[in-house]
Amino acid sequence: MPIDKAVIPVAGLGTRLLPTTKAVPKEMLPAGRLPIIHHVVEELIAAGIRRILFVSSRSKVAIENHFDDYSQLLMALELDGRDAREVGRFDYRQRGIEFFFTRQQVPLGGTKPLGTGDAVAAAESFVGDSDFVVAFGDSIIHG
């Protein structure tokens, strides 16, 4: 059976890229015209992944916003007579892609999430007994 689920841990603090990551999650930093996380998601889709879970943190709402429904924006552009094709190619629902979001919890008395293993464990109810891919939201490997 083909693998159609991916888990992307994105709850890290981004401390190596401070002070930039104080305002912008490192996964949302640009690589060309698009955020790094966008490239990661496109690679997953090209590999046949259709259901993607982001294990996030309270400070990463920009990631959820980026992959949110584009239908209102598309409608507004069309009503203004503007070309919506560029934005339309990011309308993932039209392509049959589903995004899910959960938060990695900080342990009681802790100051930060426990790490990648804990983030993947937080995806247990999403993946169930099926095989899945883990991709990192801040890493692009090309070639």
87: left (phi over 0), alpha (psi -120 to 50) or beta: alpha
What domains, with CATH codes, occur in the chain?
5-67+96-134 (3.90.550.10)
* Position 62 pLDDT exceeds 80: yes
H or E element at residue 31: strand 30-31
Residue 122 and residue 104 in contact, taking contact as beta carbons nearer than 8 Å: yes
What is the model's pTM? 0.86
46 vs 91, which has greater pLDDT?
Answer: 46
Other Cβ atoms closer than 10 A to 70: 18
Per-residue pLDDT reduced to its tens digit, 120-131: 999 999 999 999
What are the tokens at 19?
A: 């002070």
Per-residue pLDDT reduced to its tens digit, 75-114: 787 788 777 776 667 778 888 999 999 988 877 777 777 8
5 vs 87, which has greater pLDDT?
Answer: 5
60 vs 113, which has greater pLDDT?
Answer: 60
Beta pairing partners, 31? 34
pLDDT average, residue stretch 15-40? 92
- pLDDT bin (cut points 50, 70, 90) of residue 9 is very high
* Position 143 pLDDT exceeds 70: no
Residue 10 and residue 56 in contact, taking contact as beta carbons nearer than 8 Å: yes
- pLDDT bin (cut points 50, 70, 90) of residue 74 is confident
> What is the C-alpha separation between 110 and 46, in angstroms, rounded?
38
State residue 37's pLDDT score.
95
